[in-house]
Amino acid sequence: MLERLFKLSQHQTNVKTEIIAGLTTFMTMAYIIFVNPAILADAGMDKGAVFVASCLAAAIGCFIMGFIANYPIALAPGMGLNAFFTYGVVLGMGYSWQTALGAVFLSGIIFLLLSVFKVRKWIINAIPHTLKLGIATGIGAFLALIALKNAGIIVAHPATLVTLGNITEFTPLMSMLGFFVIATLTARNVPGAVLIAILVVTVIGLAAGQVEYSGVISMPPSLAPTFLELDLKAAFDISMLSVIFAFLFVDLFDTSGTLIAVTQRAGLTDKDGKIERLGKALSSDSIATLSGAALGTSTTTSYIESASGVAAGGRTGLTAVVVGILFTLSIFFAPLAGMIPVYATAGAMFYVAILMLNNLKDINWQDISEAAPVTVVLLFTPLTFSIAHGITLAFITYTFTKALSGKAQEVSISVWVLTALFIAKIAFLG
């Protein structure tokens, strides 16, 4: 049955290898089931319900990717997008988390339509490579700021806006320890470095009396506080357009980049480097986002950590299915997730930020028309505490810098249109 479903022999793999690959991928991305509830809880959402929603959304995405697209790519609520959900849309713009979930759902519908009608290729080709890289780095800087703020390493200051906190206190020390553990284990190629670091810091917190023990395994918390609580009517408001676009835009390019990178590494592309079942893979991602919004979590997306499973030999959707099974079983570890303190996840967030900032190496810094929009999105995303503002200002900067430097021919019609929409948004909606 497994051979018929996943074509194991055709991909020169076997059940044992695929299971090991699935375990490896899960270990590298399981941190999200602890980090995501902690971030969305700041938006006022029930932490237990978000924990279950995160596990189930990830499992649904993995199962669809595995059975339908037959790719060894795992999905879960995306880092960066969850931070934008909480700190940008809810706390920054003042929308309710129900409205934010509605925006996530609408972005998922648009993503699905783009995948079904094959418009995705036109959009991706229309958006400059520089902006794609720049937006990823902007989100990385945003995550880094949130991590440092949550850790108490960076604090508010009335004269200088921000300053260094008291890093000799327990919370900053544990946050830094968590990051150093991740860095050390990652450098030594230890699988599950992020998850191990989170658990190590939590255990230290328990020993120091800073964390209250509440058990490890139990029946799953109720999903009722978040299930189908999305507010679609409010999400249709014109002021939510930039928010929906931000969710869609980031998910679209994050997913596409992950699919390209992982399938190429696994040798699953054709001789021209094209992904054969790209439509099915993208549909899997969009359906997972729709399911996640209905359950009660932010945008679900493909994870680059899937490359670790590919490195372990994963070549088919069975790898993704194994990850989905493990996420499903994780719903019984809610007490453990509830014990994870903020300082245990701060190091993980900072580590993910470093990975996203890696895109800076591919920027042509000698060309001001390339460097300027990247610098704008890199700085304005964290400083305005908004991915949407960062994207908006990056597009405007790119378009006018290119035009004024005599390179207007490099700006596509679609980018001009998007720039005009962003300017109108700023002028009339702020």
pLDDT at residue 405 is higher than 80 = yes
Domain boundary among 294, 315, 350: 350
pLDDT at residue 273 is higher than 60 = no
Structural domain range at position 414 = 367-430
Domain contains 131: yes
The C-alpha atoms of residue 353 and residue 347 are separated, in whole angstroms, by 10
Domain contains 140: yes
Same domain, 95 and 228: yes
Residue 126 confidence (pLDDT): 65
Same domain, 372 and 346: no
What does the block give as tokens for 411?
């700006």
Q: Which of 286-300, 333-347, 406-420 has the highest mean pLDDT?
A: 286-300
99-108, 304-313, 328-337, 397-406: which range is least confident on average? 304-313
Higher pLDDT, 127 or 243: 243
Confidence of residue 36 (pLDDT cuts 50, 70, 90): very high
Domain contains 293: yes
Produce one character per residue of 202-224: b if its CB has 16 or more CB atoms within 10 Å, e if not. bebbeeeeebeeeeeeeebbebe
Residue 412 confidence (pLDDT): 84
Task: Count up the domains in the chain and report the number.
Answer: 2
Question: Which residues are CB-neighbours of 189 under 8 A, at least 6 positions away?
Answer: none
Average confidence (pLDDT) over 296-322: 85
43 and 91 in contact (C-beta within 8 Å)?
yes
Question: Which residues are CB-neighbours of 179 under 8 A, at least 6 positions away?
Answer: 197, 346, 347, 350, 351
Neighbours of 427 (CB within 10 A): 8
108 and 290 in contact (C-beta within 8 Å)?
yes
Same domain, 73 and 124: yes
Domain contains 355: no
Same domain, 413 and 322: no
Same domain, 334 and 373: no
What does the block give as tokens for 52?
């279950």
Q: Which of 251-255, 274-278, 351-355, 405-409 has the highest mean pLDDT?
A: 405-409
Domain contains 236: yes
Domain boundary among 350, 376, 395: 350
Residue 175 confidence (pLDDT): 93
Domain contains 332: yes
pLDDT at residue 370 is higher than 80 = yes
Same domain, 396 and 294: no
What does the block give as tokens for 171?
């919370």
Same domain, 131 and 264: yes
* pLDDT digit string, tens, across residues 386-404: 777 888 899 899 999 999 9
Supply the pTM of this predicted model: 0.77
Burial class (CB within 10 angstroms; exposed 0-12, middle 13-18, buried 19+) of 327: buried
**Given its phi and psi angles, is residue 278 left (phi above 0), alpha (psi -120 to 50 degrees) or beta?**
alpha
The C-alpha atoms of residue 121 and residue 426 are separated, in whole angstroms, by 28
